[in-house]
Chain A
Amino acid sequence: QVQLVQSGAEVKKPGASVKVSCKASGYTFTTYAMSWVRQAPGQRPEWMGWINAGNGNTKYSQKFQGRVTITRDTSASTAYMELSSLRSEDTAVYYCTRVAYWGQGTLVTVSS
């Protein structure tokens, strides 16, 4: 069965960076794109970006352009999302998703 397992919760100071991983299993990793979506408390989900796991091509939301980098390691069937220049408004649960399948979420807290 398809599983997406994310790395654990993070606490970061403003200005720092965070890198969240998403390990996929149960399917051929390079066959499907992976998106990253975040959800602040009480808010709707917000799409951040996408990677073609086969060729590594990426697309990013304009809102996060320049601050977000999505990569993948095909040998480890793992996708990564790195967000830099963190601010308090980036406090949210971050998900990797293949549309039908979602990781369990990673809480990133930005606080001084």
Chain B
Amino acid sequence: DMVMTQTPLSLSVTPGQPASISCKSSQSLLHSDGKTYLYWYLQKPGQPPQLLIYEVSNRFSGVPDRFSGSGSGTDFTLKISRVEAEDAGVYYCMQSIQLPPWTFGEGTKVEIK
């Protein structure tokens, strides 16, 4: 199975400061159709994951523009330009190029100071 490795596993950020999370896949996520099937989710306690970014860099509907995704091949990054209190939670990267199965990173817990 595809292995997704996230770093760091936890992050403590002051409101207004930037934050960055890395995700590396064990194989390229570039499909022959030209798309790269890498997603970023935020999960808050007691809620399902909510999609932030799809196909590396596309913000999902309603996601604030302080969230951005970048990367290619096997290396990807989620950046928050100015962290807000509501950004607290666990962030997961996920790949869906390999089916079965989709696989998720181990998660990065973001705490707001």
A contacts, CB < 8 Å to B: 35, 37, 44-50, 59-63, 95, 97, 99-100, 102-105
Contact = CB atoms under 8 A, between A and B. Distances in A.
A47 B100 contact: yes
B31 to A, nearest CB: 15
A95 B92 CA distance: 16
Nearest to A44: B104
A65 to B, nearest CB: 9
B107 interface: yes
Contacts of B92: 44-45
Interface residues of B, number: 19
Given A44-B107, A105-B48, A50 B99 contact: yes
Contact of B96 (A44, A99, A103, A105): A99
B54 A100 contact: yes
Interface string B38-69: 01000000001111001000001000000000
B111 interface: no
A35 B49 CA distance: 14
Nearest to A102: B48
B102 A35 contact: yes
A35 B67 CA distance: 26
Interface of B: 39, 48-51, 54, 60, 92, 94, 96, 99-107
A99 B104 CA distance: 12
Contacts of A99: 39, 51, 54, 96
A46 B51 contact: no
30 contacts: A37-B102, A44-B104, A44-B105, A44-B106, A44-B107, A45-B94, A47-B100, A47-B101, A47-B102, A47-B103, A47-B104, A48-B101, A49-B100, A50-B100, A59-B100, A60-B100, A61-B100, A62-B100, A62-B101, A63-B101, A95-B48, A97-B48, A99-B39, A99-B51, A100-B54, A102-B48, A102-B49, A102-B50, A104-B48, A105-B48
B30 to A, nearest CB: 18
Nearest to A100: B51
Contacts of A102: 48-50
